[in-house]
Amino acid sequence: MDERYVDGRVEKIWSLKNKLELWQKTELAFIAAMVFYGLAKSIVFFKIEKIWKSMPINLKWFKERDKKIHHDLNAFLEERVRHLPRWLQKFVHKWITSFDTEEPAFARMLIDSIAVVSAEYEKLEVQLCKMAKKFMFAIMMARTHGQYAELQTQGKRYLTWITELKEAKRQLKESMQMLEYSKIKGAIGNYGEIDPQLEKKALEILGFKPFAGATQIMPRILYAPIAASLCGMVVVIDSIATDIRLGARSGIKIYDEPFKKFQKGSSAMPGKKNTIRTEQMEGMARMALGYLEAIMLNIRTWEERAIEQSCVERVVWPDLFHVTVHSLKVMTGVINKMKIYPDNMLKEIHESRGLYASAEAKEFLKTKGSKYGLSAEEGYRIIQLAAFIANEPDPERLGIRNTLPCSLAEADELFEKFKTLPSEKIVSIQELIPRANLYSLPDKLAASKTQVQKWNKVLKKIFARPKNIEEWNILFQPSHLLKNEAILYEKIIGA
Amino acid sequence: MDERYVDGRVEKIWSLKNKLELWQKTELAFIAAMVFYGLAKSIVFFKIEKIWKSMPINLKWFKERDKKIHHDLNAFLEERVRHLPRWLQKFVHKWITSFDTEEPAFARMLIDSIAVVSAEYEKLEVQLCKMAKKFMFAIMMARTHGQYAELQTQGKRYLTWITELKEAKRQLKESMQMLEYSKIKGAIGNYGEIDPQLEKKALEILGFKPFAGATQIMPRILYAPIAASLCGMVVVIDSIATDIRLGARSGIKIYDEPFKKFQKGSSAMPGKKNTIRTEQMEGMARMALGYLEAIMLNIRTWEERAIEQSCVERVVWPDLFHVTVHSLKVMTGVINKMKIYPDNMLKEIHESRGLYASAEAKEFLKTKGSKYGLSAEEGYRIIQLAAFIANEPDPERLGIRNTLPCSLAEADELFEKFKTLPSEKIVSIQELIPRANLYSLPDKLAASKTQVQKWNKVLKKIFARPKNIEEWNILFQPSHLLKNEAILYEKIIGA
Amino acid sequence: MDERYVDGRVEKIWSLKNKLELWQKTELAFIAAMVFYGLAKSIVFFKIEKIWKSMPINLKWFKERDKKIHHDLNAFLEERVRHLPRWLQKFVHKWITSFDTEEPAFARMLIDSIAVVSAEYEKLEVQLCKMAKKFMFAIMMARTHGQYAELQTQGKRYLTWITELKEAKRQLKESMQMLEYSKIKGAIGNYGEIDPQLEKKALEILGFKPFAGATQIMPRILYAPIAASLCGMVVVIDSIATDIRLGARSGIKIYDEPFKKFQKGSSAMPGKKNTIRTEQMEGMARMALGYLEAIMLNIRTWEERAIEQSCVERVVWPDLFHVTVHSLKVMTGVINKMKIYPDNMLKEIHESRGLYASAEAKEFLKTKGSKYGLSAEEGYRIIQLAAFIANEPDPERLGIRNTLPCSLAEADELFEKFKTLPSEKIVSIQELIPRANLYSLPDKLAASKTQVQKWNKVLKKIFARPKNIEEWNILFQPSHLLKNEAILYEKIIGA
Amino acid sequence: MDERYVDGRVEKIWSLKNKLELWQKTELAFIAAMVFYGLAKSIVFFKIEKIWKSMPINLKWFKERDKKIHHDLNAFLEERVRHLPRWLQKFVHKWITSFDTEEPAFARMLIDSIAVVSAEYEKLEVQLCKMAKKFMFAIMMARTHGQYAELQTQGKRYLTWITELKEAKRQLKESMQMLEYSKIKGAIGNYGEIDPQLEKKALEILGFKPFAGATQIMPRILYAPIAASLCGMVVVIDSIATDIRLGARSGIKIYDEPFKKFQKGSSAMPGKKNTIRTEQMEGMARMALGYLEAIMLNIRTWEERAIEQSCVERVVWPDLFHVTVHSLKVMTGVINKMKIYPDNMLKEIHESRGLYASAEAKEFLKTKGSKYGLSAEEGYRIIQLAAFIANEPDPERLGIRNTLPCSLAEADELFEKFKTLPSEKIVSIQELIPRANLYSLPDKLAASKTQVQKWNKVLKKIFARPKNIEEWNILFQPSHLLKNEAILYEKIIGA
């Protein structure tokens, strides 16, 4: 893993030093269990423990030995046993096999790494909740398919982000269930000379329960959901990051990634403020997806085990944790210092030309219009037509739209011309429809002149009634449209 | 999905017909909720329900309409609404959006498909338990790294298979937790005109609870674990299948896939009995892994939703269920009629030359030898040397081993010569070690002549004591070695 | 594959009927080769060919037989042989094995499917070239990181799309190299009784050359690049589709997906025009990525072959071709009828506040400023500061930006207030910098007041010279900035 | 990447130091190009080059700066520019953008890494060719579906391994085609102020040609095939490794991984020789598949680029190269020192009971039998029946096969009984069929007594003719069966 994305805690957990110390813990726990059941005297345990604690594992010696005998656990044992007097040696690793020593250590490394993830996750959730509360009444356009949809508050978007993250976190927590178990069951998992009580006691000391049904190793299907949920979490972060990138696009920005005072956005273009942190999240997700694939493939082995899984676990687990923790940290930083532009949020609502209430407007026409012979389908089509009309450009802009320059010089001219245009006027369907003078747009909607005339007549009738106008205008009030949102704040963040 | 791998039930669940019927159920439930809360009269519900039940959805009409308007849910609504009198039309799909209708249907399809998986899973578990009990005392060589390891019973191998499958099943069950929820929350998930009570009631009718935090759609992170656990199940099946393929290899077969009386194994070679069913399981796993990737990618969308996920879900979910169900069915068939060869299992034990007890033998030497100055390391190396000696070929075979033919004619001769050799003699370390005449194999083990002489002396001393010989021989008794296995049967299948 | 995404030609190629007919072709070719080398009389070939052509393969008979004997190629042979008199039977499938028959058929199916892809690809390329030429002088903002970057023409964006697609196509063509080969080499690939001349002749008839190094099957590594390049093509299409989605977002739209006159965008919100076709492309890419994974896994087999690959190839190859062809077809439709808004493209340039020339402006200051003691770094920072100043909102908007409403009622008010604001004034760095009255923005850029004062002095000096002003203004002319673009049109589409 | 799997050369190529040095090369090449075209004086180039060469890049300074400004290329430029007098500063990175500097460096890193792969590949191919020649006449059973198939030489298996590897290598070479190109085209790829001649010249100096159609970056589709072919190579290595694992399984071993004299196979079981190196290859393949996925996802970006791809490329490319190079190195070591057991290869042939010639025997019966009224189908079924009969165990073994022990004590007894059995007799279909006393096996093959009697009669007639017996026996001679194999040696390795 590139040092930029490394988390110090995760690195320590998966370090050789930590792993060997955890192996030593297993060995000591098993000797303690033997003592507990009278298979060795207490002195055996205390002597060994004392000697080992006074002689830290020599990693250099270990590595050289490992290279020679091609078996890391044996190299570890040799390194440890060499410090013991001969009479104590036979108590070490008695009856048990390499993966009896390694499995509790491996499970511990997973547990500890998940704890780091959880701690970073909490920070992100806190930031998001803070933002959700802060922007509880700051209104904005929701978007589906990238298009203006209905109104929502900015806080509500955080609520949906929180929801997805919480679900990823829930899945991660669920995925830990099987980390309560481990095994000290001998070479093929049926105990051999190991009294099952010994396993139980030793695992208890290490904080685990025995898992029936292991072979030489714990079945790797147990750990697959951990990778799946970590990957899911990173993909969710990427999804949130993508939303931020979308809202931060030049044009009408509703938010911006933090940009530091010394930061440079581009080596060529000094004005750039790029969304580099959120874009990186997509790269993180790509890696996480690849790592998940490797872990899923790791489920399979031959018979009572082969060692295909080992190199993958040395590499991919720490990398997946680094990627996850890094993503959480970056995202927390982004959310914490993100810039929000409520003025632009209002600008978008304004420029949506009242479409933010199109669903309600449609239901209004369907209800009010039915007595004048309007079908449900027609109610729908009237709003659609009004929306298209409201979005038609003014004639000058339409002229430019329909002029294709045939040289760069012509392009220069057209641009100069554009710069002199007066501002665009925004008309909303809120005003447009009560005027009852819709006209057909034969290229855009299959509605004939006659049909549109009929619609105008009905509209005239509907809006002749002042009460209807009043009702109609209420439909376009943000506070009306958002009246039910409070329940979401309450359910999701208790606000 | 190729028709060979299609499950009829899964196909029906994901059929267009079923989907549209489920959509209709949502629409009716929402109208029923409106009636419940006084927003429509009961007659509205009963009329609509009656008309719809009497007029099955016309799929042809629907498809043509969908092609025209490019929106399947609207096409469905138009198909349904056209049968209603105008005054009833406005009650249909009132306030709600397409995915309010679709989400409960989609969740139902997942639930129903998982029920098919569960039913097939149960059959496989039953078969495996039956086999585990049947072969509870049939001993065989366990293998790690493809090499002879220690003794186990054939039944115990089934236990480990059952364990992995059960874990996959547990994960599948866990993954269903979020299928209790769905949404009818409007276009962007903040209710708009929909009273939250209406959602609650309508979902209750459909068997769901409201999910806070949805946008236009339910977040796809909710469904990712379902795909991960289905994929995990198929990979576990492939892992079991691989074990069967390994045990069924020509040479010493310990089991065989069922082979029918009319079956042909090869178009060229009539004697072949190929493991085609179990091999297919690896193909199934390859597909499942690819499908998982697509579903994981499906987690991400833009803002309040875009529709990237839709085509994937139309294709990949049914395909993943077909693959899972097919794998379970094939595997149940294989386990049910598998041939087992206990004689060959014994042959393997015999040919292991006593190595099945090498761990115990090593502990014996470590314990008994320490008083004669043998280190733990030396105890290990003595067994290793004896194992290598026991596996040396006899001189005739060694001669052949070291003769490389230089033409096909020489190859013919060598083969003829081989055919005349007497049978190989099998010597076990059980006999070899007490003889105390080990010799050094300088090419194979770094133990000098002097060292080996010392070892022989110690061995002589140890085995001079009849009690030690007696203890030694007990180590090689299967019943001694398997004394703790019963606990696994009890814990895993209650036998 | 869901019928929505099925291509009729691909479906036919991978149909059972076509496969069996191709198998028959192999069998006939091998008999013809025997005749050619005098191993059978011509009458043998002509009789068999005549009988087979007069008796089409009975698929129902075949399927039933296959179910009974569990071997599809044997079932096919039995179906074919039953129509022959006994004396002809022995010439059929003589010496050869199932995959001798199947491999040339499989390669043919790949070749034919790629031909469909290529045909659809050409249509898309034609559309894109047409658009590139049409919009050769229509200027727009290029975007990096979603942010306004420099100027380009709309046509140039098509050029980059064309480039990526052409590369995908080139890779696909390269990937076909090994489809020139096939094998008829017997059960394990070393000919057995088959004279190598027979293989050569039979393959020649079928349009192939012999591949040395096959086992029972052709090694699957040969076909992996085909899947990789198809997947690459779909991901490229998705990348193009994403660009369209981005440009079609509500706000300032520069293009829109085609929207038909009868189309409906949403069941709830009638005004919606959603980018559903381009979004679907992302789903297609997700599937293609999953299919690639399965095909990559398919490379591995055991020894002289096992049949893990078969089910994957039945399912995934046609699905991958369907997905690719569908994506090409949809995209061609989108490009063909896409709406382009050159007025909005100019609007974006205008609203970029001159930043489209920031790189050139920076070089200008670096060059002109060095004599007044400006470092390269300072040249950079001046432009950065000017850009930030130009993007500051006016006081009214800033007021709104900094007001967080504390209730929905306040949100209503703020929105009403916003609607009354006069239009925003756009100031460009083109005017701003020569004015030489930049001011420090301590929160946004680490440049002190003193520093900015110094910069203003230098700017004053530079812009005191009319020649510099002239040069400066030229930098902001589109025709100046795009002067080198023509070379791209020429190299990429010869325009 | 874990240090166990790191290749020093790959590590160096992807080191920060090397990357920054390559960036410097691009910057210098561009200045040289400016000099070449008279846009700067020669002194500019020589001064800058001299200063930079005398002042190695200070990595610590760089890293701190990068952390501050969040832009590594700008940090690099600042580090370099600070050593220059002011008048030279403006010539550095003039007109160009970060990825103009970075892309040629990146392509160079890919090229250099592939060179390492190629060098290691050659070593492996050499080893394999050596082995192929050495075992050109050492006969063995080929296996399809894990089952004995026909005869081949051990050398021929190497030929098929070589073929797959060569194909992977060919694909890798093909994938390099686009590495001839790079870009120095400015911020969005349309040159801006950069004269296209400058790009051409600078790239020429760096060893590249200009790529039309780049945006800010080279399109990532160009590099996808490199990852696909590296991944393909690792999967092929895994496939070969799997073959070795299969042949090295305890039982009848035909080869063994090298095992060193100090090596330990297991911490518990001293006799173990595990296939740990070849098993690791499967882990490597799992990682490579995951890395490919990330690189495929990297193809997509937004518009003229976003930076999602960057972190993936920092991490995944070096990791993928490490995995590939490590796999090649391990495999070369394995092949180089692998142990081969020709005696066991003959044992397998012998124990196949003549089935190695079953295809030829079937054709013999079809041809000779047709005049006695035997159909092609019957020829097939006779061999099938004979094969099943030859594989029936003797009565003692059958007794044991059908006895299921009901306790561990009974298991002990059965094992003791088995150990006393005389050796199994091997009967071949070569002898069995001419005896013409086949009998029906109603449970195994659907052939009635009457039918079998008829078959025996025909067999009697056929084998009454001495010439037929002679012909028959020739079919079972290895030299006869392998007569066409030489052509493969010639075509594949020119032997």
For the stretch B409-460, pLDDT in tens is 999 999 999 999 998 999 999 999 999 999 999 988 889 999 999 999 999 9
Pairing of strands B181-182, B209-210: parallel
pLDDT at B108: 98
Q: Return the minimum-mean-pLDDT range out of A263-267, C249-253, D38-42, D93-97.
A: A263-267
Select the residue of D187, D308, D316 nearest A268 (Cβ to Cβ).
D187
- Chain A residues close to D10, C-beta within 8 Å: none
- Chain B residues close to C297, C-beta within 8 Å: 286, 289
Q: Residue B194 is encoded by which pair of tokens?
A: 């929909």
pLDDT at D264: 81
| Angstroms from B338 CA to nearest CA on chain D | 13
pLDDT at B3: 94
Return the residue in C130, C139, C145, C261 with the most chain A beta carbons within 10 A, the one to mutate for interface testing.
Answer: C145
Distance of alpha carbon B383 from alpha carbon C309, whole angstroms: 43
Q: Return the minimum-mean-pLDDT range out of A291-295, A364-368, C279-283.
A: A364-368
Q: In b/e form, how buried is each residue of B13-49, taking b as 16+ CB within 10 angstroms?
A: bbebebbbebbbbbbbbbbbbbbbeeebeeebbebbe
Select the residue of A70, A280, A291 nearest D263 (Cβ to Cβ).
A70
pLDDT at A188: 95
- Please count the residue pairs, one from chain A and one from chain D, whose beta carbons lie less than 8 angstroms apart: 177
Residue C115: alpha-carbon gap to chain centroid? 17
pLDDT at A271: 83
- Please count the residue pairs, one from chain B and one from chain D, whose beta carbons lie less than 8 angstroms apart: 240
| Angstroms from D282 CA to nearest CA on chain C | 10
pLDDT digits (tens, 9 = 90+) for B262-287: 888 787 788 888 999 999 999 999 99
Residue carrying structure tokens 């190529």: D13
| Angstroms from C228 CA to nearest CA on chain B | 14
pLDDT at D260: 84
| Angstroms from A390 CA to nearest CA on chain C | 10
pLDDT digits (tens, 9 = 90+) for C423-446: 889 999 999 999 999 999 988 888
Average pLDDT over residues A1-8: 96
Average pLDDT over residues A397-418: 94
CB contact under 8 A, A250 and C341: no
Hey, which chains touch D, using 3+ CB pairs under 8 Å?
A: A, B, C
* Whether the predicted pLDDT of B84 surpasses 90: yes
The one-letter amino acid at C334: V
Proportion of chain B above pLDDT 90, given as a percent: 92
Select the residue of A251, A271, A409 nearest C358 (Cβ to Cβ).
A271
Place C265 in a pLDDT band, splitting at 50, 70 and 90.
confident
CB contact under 8 A, A351 and C251: yes
CA dist list (Å): A206 to A2, A54, A57, A72, D171: 33, 21, 20, 21, 50
pLDDT at B193: 87
> How many Cβ atoms sit within 10 Å of the Cβ of residue A87?
11
pLDDT digits (tens, 9 = 90+) for A460-473: 999 999 999 999 99
pLDDT digits (tens, 9 = 90+) for A155-193: 999 999 999 999 999 999 999 999 999 999 999 999 998
| Nearest-by-CA chain D residue for B271 | D384
Distance of alpha carbon B347 from alpha carbon A253, whole angstroms: 76
| Angstroms from B445 CA to nearest CA on chain D | 4
Select the residue of D71, D266, D289 nearest A294 (Cβ to Cβ).
D289
Task: Enumerate residues 6+ apart whose C-beta is below 8 A from B95.
Answer: A359, A363, B186, B192, B193, B194, C268
- Chain B residues close to C93, C-beta within 8 Å: 267
CB contact under 8 A, D70 and A276: yes
Distance of alpha carbon A142 from alpha carbon A153, whole angstroms: 8
| Nearest-by-CA chain A residue for D278 | A308
CB contact under 8 A, B311 and C266: no
| Angstroms from C364 CA to nearest CA on chain D | 10
- Please count the residue pairs, one from chain C and one from chain D, whose beta carbons lie less than 8 angstroms apart: 298
Per the confidence metrics, is the pTM higher than 0.80?
yes
Burial of B425 (0-12, 13-18, 19+ CB in 10 A): exposed
pLDDT digits (tens, 9 = 90+) for C35-88: 999 999 999 999 999 999 999 999 999 999 999 888 999 999 999 999 999 899
| Angstroms from B491 CA to nearest CA on chain A | 7
CB contact under 8 A, C149 and A272: yes
Place A483 in a pLDDT band, splitting at 50, 70 and 90.
very high
CB contact under 8 A, D285 and C293: no
- Chain B residues close to C265, C-beta within 8 Å: 71
Residue carrying structure tokens 């191993």: C39
Q: Residue B116 is encoded by which pair of tokens?
A: 């098919």
- Chain D residues close to B400, C-beta within 8 Å: 342-343, 346
CB contact under 8 A, B94 and A192: no
- Chain C residues close to D293, C-beta within 8 Å: 289, 293
* Whether the predicted pLDDT of A268 surpasses 90: no
Q: Residue B379 is encoded by which pair of tokens?
A: 């105890």
Return the residue in D136, D145, D355 with the most chain B beta carbons within 10 A, the one to mutate for interface testing.
Answer: D145
CB contact under 8 A, C293 and B286: yes
- Please count the residue pairs, one from chain B and one from chain C, whose beta carbons lie less than 8 angstroms apart: 177
Select the residue of D186, D187, D484 nearest C196 (Cβ to Cβ).
D484
| Angstroms from C371 CA to nearest CA on chain A | 21
Hey, which chains touch A, using 3+ CB pairs under 8 Å?
A: B, C, D
Select the residue of B192, B298, B311 nearest C280 (Cβ to Cβ).
B311
CB contact under 8 A, C144 and D299: no
Beta bridge partners of A153: A139
Proportion of chain A above pLDDT 70, given as a percent: 100
Average pLDDT over residues B183-211: 96
Q: Are A152 and A345 in contact (CB under 8 A)?
A: no
Average pLDDT score, chain C: 95
- Chain B residues close to D259, C-beta within 8 Å: 444
Hey, which chains touch B, using 3+ CB pairs under 8 Å?
A: A, C, D
Average pLDDT over residues A427-431: 96
CA dist list (Å): A349 to A64, A150, A289, A357, A383: 68, 9, 37, 10, 17
Average pLDDT score, chain D: 95
Average pLDDT over residues B199-206: 98
Look up residue D146 and give its DSSP letter. Answer: T
Hey, which chains touch C, using 3+ CB pairs under 8 Å?
A: A, B, D
| Nearest-by-CA chain A residue for B237 | A300
CB contact under 8 A, B235 and A363: no
Q: Residue D475 is encoded by which pair of tokens?
A: 């079919």
Extract the residue ranges of chain D whose pLDDT is less than 50: none
Q: In b/e form, how buried is each residue of A446-475, taking b as 16+ CB within 10 angstroms?
A: ebeeebbebbbebbebbbeeeeeeeebeeb
> What SS3 class is residue A269?
coil
